[in-house]
Amino acid sequence: MTANPLVPLIARGEADRTTLASLALEQTRVIPADRRAFLRLAERAVPGAPESAAFFTLLAEGEVLAGERLGAFAAACGVTEARAAAYEPLSGCQAYPSYVAWLALNASPPEAALALTANFAAFGGYCATIAGALRRHYGFTDEACAFFDFFAEPSPELDRRATAAIRAGRDAGQVDEARAREYGRLLQSYEELFWSTLRGPTC
């Protein structure tokens, strides 16, 4: 994965609040879309891949918790109901959840689990950096930073379920390693596109 073009700007306090607002508004669409995709993967995993079902169920539950925290961040960025209603999402930002939805329909659940977990560490690091910068440079409260704190915090249970899902999928012959690597590479590319799209027109 190449260097993130936006997070360093936020880390230095150089990203303007319009950019932060766009980040919040894009996430209001990413979070529910990913939740539905994870639920679909959990459904497809039953009964042949129960470990994958448990993993994706936990991911879907996490998206609910993240969504509950997103509103405070959006409000701190100056997002009103009228602004949210008028906002037009950016295709470059929505490519990532669109591909997650594609995986929910086309990838085997263990392969999707392997592809997704490869990207989690990078995203968690981004969120940790953003949470610190929002407090340090922008004066955001803990409540306004809670969305990023949530993703930045390690989750041993999620790691355990991911490991179980991938191991069981491999043991059952449900993982094509080359295909899973391709899925992971594309996910990382779409992750980069999300941040570069936000970086481009608004900073």
| Per-residue CA distances from 47 to 5, 41, 100, 114, 187 (Å) | 42, 12, 21, 19, 26
The per-residue pLDDT for range 78-97, each reduced to its tens digit, is 999 999 999 999 999 999 99
2 exposed, middle or buried (CB, 10 Å; 0-12, 13-18, 19+)?
A: exposed
Domain extents in the chain: 7-202
pLDDT for 2 equals 61
Is the entire prediction scored with pTM above 0.85? Answer: yes
pLDDT of residue 119: 85
Q: Tens digit of pLDDT for each residue in 134-150?
A: 999 999 999 999 999 99
The model's confidence at residue 203, banded by pLDDT at 50, 70 and 90, is very low
Average pLDDT over residues 118-124: 88
CATH class of 7-202: mainly alpha
Residues 6+ apart with CB under 8 A from 56: 38, 39, 41, 42, 45, 109, 112, 113
Mean pLDDT of the chain: 95
Query: What separation in angstroms does the CA of 70 have from each of 7, 104, 109, 112, 162?
Result: 18, 24, 27, 25, 25
